[in-house]
Every structure is written in C-alpha cells, then in structure tokens.
C-alpha cells in the first residue's frame, strides 16, 4: 500500500500536520512494508510533474482538511484514475463561532493568507464550509480524531475515527527551570472564548493576585488573551512557537496544564493536548466533559465555574510534588502506549478497510 499525505503549508496548521501526517508517514516508512509520501497541497492542485508521479504511484491520497476550490476538481481527477481519496480533518468547522480564528475563512469565505492581512473583498463563494460538504460527498472516506466529530459528519461520507497518537521521541526529559515559580499553561488548541466562558480566566486572575509566584504561560494565544486579562504583566509570559519543537520545549517547562472546554466546538476537540501533558509528565486539569471522560483517571476534572477552577488549581499547586510524582507513573505510561509507532497498525487497518470498501449495493 502506498499512501500519500497531501499537507497544508499554512503556519497555523503545522502542529496538526506534524501530528497526523509527518509522524504517521515516518511510522509507516519505518515498517518497510508500506510506503508513505508527503506532498504539499499547492503541488497537488497544480498537478506538477512530481505530484503527478507521486499520486499516480499511490493507492490512497489523504488530503488535509481543505476541501474547497480547485482541490475538488483535483479529487475528481484522481478518483477517475481509481485512487482512494480520504480527507483528514480535526476541526468542528460547523460549530465555529465568530471569535474563533478560522471563522472568517470557513463561514465568511475570507481567503487564508498565512499571517498576512486578510483581503475581505475577494471572498470565496460559495463559502468553504459549503464546499467542504460537497467535497465530503466526493471522497471515499473521512478520518477524524474524535468520536463526536465522526458522529457529526456521518451522513456525508464514510467516517473513520483514528485518535491522536504522539511521537514520544520528540519529548525529551527536561528539568523544570523555575524552582520558585509555578507556571500555568493552556493546551495549544484552547480558544479564547473557552478560556473566558469556562470561568478559568477569572480564576487565574484571582490566583495571580493572591500568589505572585504564579505565572500564566500563553502560547500562540497572546494576541487574544493578553489584552483582556487583569493580571500583572510580569506574571504573563507569551511565546509564539513557530514549529512543533518549540511548542514541545515550552510544554516541558509547564507545571500545570489547563484545558477549559466550553461549547460545541470544544466538545469535538481531540485528545492531543492531554497526551502532550501526559508524555511531558505535567499534571493537568480539564473541564469535566464527556470527550475526555475516558482519561479522567490520569488527571483532574472540574466543573466550569470560577470557584471550581480556582479551588482545583490551588489544590494541585499545594500538592504539586505529589501530582508531579503521580504524573510520572500511570499517565506517563499511558502516553507511552499512545506512541504512533506502537499504534501505526491501527492506522493502516483503517486505510486497508477504506481501500477495500465498497458500497452496500450497486444500483446500476
């Protein structure tokens, strides 16, 4: 089986591309039974000679998220040549709210510009969300990392769930460099609205006022969060990781990881953030919501209220050594078991199923 991953080069997508495409691809190639290639979306659309050769040799094309515009015609091109086409997506784009980053693209059709100022006048019509739904009708299957997401899109195509796995070798052991401070950090996919509406932001403001040794670490969210917080600026540290490795380096320095879940969009998030915390032996607290119920024994769960968040964070801070010790045991072992190399067979099993799938009956 030859699988080609068609990835986005957009900076904002690199974390997911690393997790789901590059790591999967590496793991497949390590097996030496099957082969995986990586191809960027632009070359795929332009059908460059290299892209043509790569896709022609493939059995399966896995496209990252962006089913709109000329990608749809390119899908038809390759389906006509008997390639199985899969879309891989992780965002609940049908639950995006205006304050979320990608709302303007998926819902309003404002083109993606990779950091540059967005030109509102050249809107994509129909909006990418609508085209995405068309695209789901064309592909052979979609793969998502969460059960709710799978359930949402079941009526559009064959949906398979492959949970997020990690590449444990990318997380080196690192001593926390700040012995007299407590660094509180958010998961990399936490949205501003969730941070606010869950009560977590108020809880942290209160804790920072009471405990000057506490710092809030903002990673890529500083533009949205920094301005509205009533926290002494010396207690906020902001980082803008440009790649996965920089994010991991920051992650290893956190003392407590926080994941507020609020609203329908968050309910469809994958477990990647929690795996990050667990593999870096960081104690974590997450909103008590069903997506992560199965992981509850590896961390702390709280109801969404200022009081609950504050109380739980203070509790972990007070017993930080105990929680750290605990984080090096079961949660860390669990995370090790979620290494992509250990689980790549499960991924390949899904690809095989898609390769061999046929409709229930042929009407012709």
Partner 1 sequence: MQQELKIRKTLGRNYLNENRLAEALDVFSRILIDYPDELETLIILGDFYLASGDGNTAKSIYLRAKQVDPNNKSIECQIALADEIADDGFGEPAPTDLPAVARLLQRLTGNTKSIVEDDIMRAALLLEKVVNSESPAELVSEKLNEIDELLPALIELNIRQAYADGHPDLAEGLRNLQHNIDSQLVSMDDPSRVGDHSSETPHFKGNVLMLLPDLENRSSRMSLLKQALKALNCQVVEKMEYSPSRDTKPDVVITSNPHINPGLMNSLSAISDAGIPIILDLDTDFELQPVSHHEYNLKGLGSQVRSNVYTAALSLAQMVTVPSKEHADSLKNVAQQIRVIPDGWSRQNKLWEKDPPPHATINIGWVGTVGQLEDLVFIRRYIIRIIREFPNTRVVIIGNPQAYRLFESLPENRRLYLPVVAHEEFPYLLSQLDVLLVPLRNTPYNHSLPDSILMEAGARSVPWIASMTPEFRRWHSGGILCETSDEWHLNLRHLVIDGSLRYQLGETGKHAARLREMSELGKLWIDVVNQVGHARGILLPNTESIPAFSPMEY
Binding site for partner 1 (CB under 8 A): 72-73, 76-77, 79-80, 126, 130, 133-134, 137-138, 155-156, 358-364
In angstroms, give the least distance from the CB of 161 to partner 1: 19
In angstroms, give the least distance from the CB of 363 to partner 1: 5
Residue with tokens 């990779």: 114
User: Among residues 70 and 228, whose Cβ is nearest to partner 1?
Assistant: 70
In angstroms, give the least distance from the CB of 68 to partner 1: 10
Torsion angle of the four alpha carbons 64, 69, 75, 77, in this order, in degrees rounded to the nearest 10: -150
Residues 6+ apart with CB under 8 A from 9: 40, 41, 42, 114
User: Among residues 130 and 161, whose Cβ is nearest to partner 1?
Assistant: 130
Could you check whether the bond before residue 126 is cis, i.e. omega within 30 degrees of 0?
yes
Helix (H) or strand (E) holding 84, with range, is: strand 84-88
Closest CA to 217 of 247, 194, 196, 174: 247
User: Among residues 68 and 244, whose Cβ is nearest to partner 1?
Assistant: 68
In angstroms, give the least distance from the CB of 332 to partner 1: 43
Do 188 and 247 contact (CB within 8 A), yes or no?
A: yes
- The whole-angstrom separation of Cα 26 and Cα 36 is 8
DSSP string, 274-339: HHHHHHTT--EEEES-GGGGGGGGGSEEE-SSHHHHHHHHHHHHHTHHHHHHHHTTHHHHHHHHTB
User: Among residues 137 and 172, whose Cβ is nearest to partner 1?
Assistant: 137
In angstroms, give the least distance from the CB of 264 to partner 1: 18
- The whole-angstrom separation of Cα 4 and Cα 48 is 15
User: Among residues 173 and 358, whose Cβ is nearest to partner 1?
Assistant: 358
In angstroms, give the least distance from the CB of 196 to partner 1: 33
In angstroms, give the least distance from the CB of 67 to partner 1: 11
User: Among residues 72 and 101, whose Cβ is nearest to partner 1?
Assistant: 72
User: Among residues 40 and 130, whose Cβ is nearest to partner 1?
Assistant: 130
| DSSP label of 126 | S
């Amino acid at each position: 089986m030859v699988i080609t991953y068609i990835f986005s080069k957009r900076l904002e997508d690199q974390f997911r591309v690393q997790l789901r495409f590059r790591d999967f691809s590496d793991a497949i190639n390590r097996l030496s039974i099957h082969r995986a290639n990586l191809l960027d979306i632009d070359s795929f659309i332009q059908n460059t000679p290299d892209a043509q050769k790569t896709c022609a040799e493939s059995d399966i094309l896995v496209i990252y998220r962006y089913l709109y515009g000329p990608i749809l015609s390119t899908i038809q091109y390759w389906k006509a040549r008997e390639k199985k086409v899969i879309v891989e997506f992780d965002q609940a784009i049908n639950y995006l709210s205006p304050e979320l980053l990608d709302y303007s693209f998926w819902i309003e059709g404002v083109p993606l510009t990779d950091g540059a100022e967005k030109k509102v006048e050249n809107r994509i019509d129909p909006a990418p969300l609508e085209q995405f739904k068309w695209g789901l009708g064309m592909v052979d299957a979609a793969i998502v990392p969460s059960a709710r997401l799978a359930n949402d899109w079941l009526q559009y195509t064959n949906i398979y769930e492959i949970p997020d796995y990690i590449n444990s070798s990318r997380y080196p052991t690192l001593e926390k460099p700040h012995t007299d401070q407590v660094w509180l950090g958010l998961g990399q996919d936490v949205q501003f609205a969730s941070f606010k509406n869950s009560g977590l932001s108020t809880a942290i403001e209160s804790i920072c006022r009471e405990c000057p040794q506490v710092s809030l670490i903002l990673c890529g969210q500083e533009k949205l969060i920094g301005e509205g917080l009533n926290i002494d600026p010396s207690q906020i540290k902001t980082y803008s990781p440009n790649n996965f490795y920089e994010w991991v380096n920051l992650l290893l320095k956190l003392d407590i990881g926080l994941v507020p879940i609020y609203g329908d969009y968050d309910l469809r998030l994958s477990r990647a953030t929690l795996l990050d915390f667990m593999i870096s032996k960081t104690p974590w607290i997450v909103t008590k919501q069903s997506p992560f119920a199965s992981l509850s024994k590896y961390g702390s769960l709280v109801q969404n209220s200022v009081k609950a968040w504050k109380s739980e964070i203070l509790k972990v801070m007070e017993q930080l050594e105990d929680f750290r010790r605990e984080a090096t045991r079961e949660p860390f072992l669990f995370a090790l078991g979620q290494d992509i190399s250990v689980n790549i067979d499960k991924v390949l099993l899904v690809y095989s199923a898609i390769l061999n799938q046929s409709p229930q009956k042929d009407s012709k």
